[in-house]
Structure 1
Amino acid sequence: MKRGVVAVGAVLFILVVSFCCGCTQEPATGGGDLTGTVWMLDEYMNIDGAMAEPLATAPVTAEFADGYVKGSSGCNMYNAAYVTDGQTISLDLPVVTVMYCDGTGVMEQEARYLSLLGAIAGYTMSDEKLTFTDSAGQEILIFHAVETELNGTEWMLTGYNNGLWGFVSVEDGTSVTATFSESNQISGNSGCNSYSGTYTVTGDAITIGPLAMTEMYCMDPEGVMDQEGAYLAAVQAAASYRVDPGDLTLMDADGLRMAVFRQYVSTPQGEDWELTGYNNGQGGVVSPAAQTTISALFGEDGQVTGSAGCNNYFASYSVSGMEVSIGPVGSTKMYCESPAETMEQESRYLTLLGEVATFERGPGTLTLRDVDGSILLAYAVAQPKITTGEWHMVSYQDADGNAVSALDSTNVTAIFGVDGQVTGDAGCNSYFGSYTKDGNSLSIGPLGLTLMYCETPAGVMDQESGYLAALEGAVSYQVSGNDLTLYAEDGTVSVWFMQAP
């Protein structure tokens, strides 16, 4: 959500002494069962008089303590004095920060919510649900209680203090986690290594550490080890914490943010994973051999399947919290001669699957570890590949550099096999040949084809020769969703393919 300040200094809360300006009543000293809970808005009465759900991108909260209610109204922070008498309640005019937030309906929702605060006359509570009514007894705001305890929660880092008086985001391609157990143990992954230690909480004060960690060294992505050191120093400098709906903030003794997390429930399901690294048994995590693809798909049926580089494999798995057990592992029985290390790599991979004990899910990443916390297997979300299915030509570049669309009633195709062979239909004849790729670089041909002659549709033979020339002239490619684009040496589009979604 993009936020812009529209008044200098307005982003800061007005000092508490100003909250009583205009107050017509003494603040409540208690609040009964309202206090001690963070409430999140479930429904509110819209301007049409109907109950509506708040925007998912603009959550609204309320926390009652010491005679004041405070929280987020979706964009800004608010604070208002309140008094209760039995089940009746009244609020003073709230003091609100003055920011503008982009997003359809955000500011309109906020204005409506703040106006409803002034209409509150009564409340009821049941089953962690808080309902406010107006003077006519009509429900106008409904909240649910939000869990704010650390015990038994799991978090993923979104930002941290780098020790240079800077608060920075987590490096792309890394996953930093923290789990707070009910036995006052903190553990997680710091980007490369696993760490663990103790924590203690007294009120909103927290002490973390000392922390112990495994001793692996990761080269990728660049900066991951610096991030790891700064993160571990930041969390051990924490002196207080705040749990908001879905967020955890650790602060030092001066109130400076040390680390900010978002809460998550981790699972290996939901993505097609491609192996990016595996433990070679010699203390290192290495990349898979070139021209091999190792994949994993964790199904909702408790089965993990994929390619081990040559053979397909299958195994059962079970998950409990951050623990995962895989096996026994079975596979097909093919033998692949190239690349030379394929079979050795495959054997190592299948063995490592059976040794997995824990997992961490990050944005686009999945890491599997053994009981000692060492990385066994690292995956990233599989990206679309040139070898995925049959591609249908949309247009090609002719000898004059013009983009020419495929003729109606012709179906020009290309299939890039994992064996380095490209085949397809050129519109009249079938063609075949080899191709090589290195990263996004591509070389195709020479191509051979059958020797038929087609009279219809008009121009089909010219299209065929033009298409094949453009195909052989491609030097690079890009896959984006259902599109495959081949580029000529000068950077222009040589051939554009699509496939059915």
Structure 2
Amino acid sequence: MQPRMTRAVWTLFTITIIFMMLLVSCRPSTPEVEPSPTAEPPTPAPTMPTLDLNALYNTQWVLAAYGDPDNPTVPPASIQINATFTPDGLLAGSSGCNNYQTGFQASTDGTMTIQPEIATTFMACPDDQMEAEQAYLQALAQVTSFNFTADGNLTLRYQLDSGEEGLLVYGKGAVPFTNTEWVLVSYGDPANPTEAEPGIPVTAIFSDEGQLSGIAGCNSYSAGYTVEGETLTISPIASTMMMCTVGMEQETAYLQALSGAESYQITGQTLVINYTVDGTPGALTFSSANLPLVGTLWTLASMNGIQPAEEVTITAVFEVGDEAGSGTVAGQAACNNYTGGYTVNDSNLTIGALATTMMMCEETIMQAEQEFLQTFQATQTYQIIGNTLLLQSDQGMLTFTAERTPLLGALWQLVSLGDPNNPTAPVEGSNFTAQFIRNPSAPMGVLSGTTGCNEFAAAYAASLNEIKINQPISTGITTCVPGLLEQEQIFFLALNNATQYTILGDTLIMPYDDNQQALVFQGTQLEVAERPVLSDLDGSSWYLWSINDQAILPGTTITAIISVNPEGASGVMNGSAGCNTYQAEFGEQLGVTTTLTSGQFCNLPAGVMTQEQNYINTLARAYGYWQTGDQLILNSGSGVLTYRTTMPPAAGDQTHLLINRDWFLVSFNTNFSLPGEREPSTRFNQDGTLNGYTGCNTMNGSFTTNINQITISGLSSTMMACTDQALQNQEQAMLAVLGSAQTYQVNANNLQIVGAQGVLNYSLIPLTRP
């Protein structure tokens, strides 16, 4: 097996290099010699585009970006805006808070007019949603044209009365149940599904007339069906009776599952059919998304129905050229690498003459290569079904599967950036990573990651090859290793500038700067975001990393401990909100009602109370949750809360900053401290003991810490009488707060201890007193 793995890795490396060379070749070149002037040929009259209006109709389009056509902004996940166009000229949808409806006219030349009199409902929502709604409806009323991107996204151009031009970009939301080609992704036990066999597409198409048809892997099949609400019933299935060498066991299981269909649900581009066979429940999961021909690493799964030998690796990568409908194809042909041109027109595909390297391999490998090249160059048509590419010719059929780590659910590690011809490695000591998380029902999501110095997050929208990322927001730490801050800035600008991406195997390539430079990542597949059973979260502990795209303040810690009631549908979440403790009662899907269980005021670090209020307000409007790897994501009407099982680096254990220092009391609760014979102070020693002076008496005790939590016990003091009542009050407050201490935070020269009985603020520098 080792030689095959080595060959596969070398193949992917070679294909990636070829792709990067093709990327560079797309850049404008600088001529070495100034050409002599020549008469310009007459400019041909522009041809008007012809757009398919059926692609516009009866699809829920979800707003993915808006604003500046050159750099649109992704809306926050809390604002869901969509539009549906019908053939009779009706446009309706949600504008973020209210539903709306109006009329429109669209032509095949791309022109569009939307009636400015837009009827809406009259719900009141938070200010940010109402402002977004007003701006959206204003833009919608002044739309002038529409178009579709290469990935099938919808774009609407508008011009405001001020003359400002803008762009609305939509992705597909929920796909219609009928007249959609659904491709099987998995089947069987919903908790432990079996993935569909690669290279053996299984499909289902439900017609408006109540007929189901498709391919079961080897044979075609048909049946009748009825739908009532989400209840699905499928009549006895008829199929052809061919025998194939592969996929028959899967086909049998699939047809049995269809016969036992009971219900269905659609989320975005995913269809799930629930079934029962012999008393055992299961689920068929389908997708309507087909990978693109270009920018995908295709690996041969079978040639004329026969799988290649284990030691044979054959691949193909198609890339677009300078002219529409043409490009370059390259890959490995079992032994040698090859490259050549291709042309495509609808489903017709022609492969041009191929140039290959001249290596020699074992005879069986050379025979497989020769057969592949002959069949490949004879290609006449192609079809993509999900992640399967079929090439048909009079020489036979080539079946490829996509070698592509999904963008979602992977941890992407940056390996280079800059000029693809002379890439720059990340600076020593950095750790650039990125993880894309998205709600399956919308094209938007949150990109989060680290640079090795700062954590960052940004809203993004993506389809199969197109992407838009807002300018990332980072934790803003400046004490990084040499060169990292400069490279971090380039990295953030590149993410914001990127509009396309390609995944070849486990390599993510994100061009920027008009394809002149690229970010290149290596991917490690992680769990895809899913919604676990609520009871699975019982007893779990989480640390908040960000509120919407904003990382929490350095030096603060927000926690959540989840307890689920025995019925599994409700429970309690409690923890620290940054200064005060809180408790949140939740019901199904984590609908939350929150209350603070303490009422202290913290002044360190700056902004902690504002952050606490923002957290409580966002948590109070939570309505759903997702989990991926070590992340818990709460969706809220005010945004997104992102938790992890580990603390953010900026809120790490500060015990080393606490101990072996003389901390002088600045204030207790809302009162400034008073000196006695000397300044009141507390010292935490490395051996877990503490000592200090209250202004009247010396004190001693012991303490333990756990990250930002602190427990103080065994406090005792001398018994001298205080000289006045103010010092007596100060001593009582110090001992009460220390004895009930819960959390602490060190920020530069300042220390804050929060207890059930109040707050103590200290400094390494004693107060200057008159």
TM-score for the superposition, normalised by structure 2: 0.29
Query: Between Structure 1 and Structure 2, which shows a larger proportion of helix residues?
Result: 2
TM-score for the superposition, normalised by structure 1: 0.41
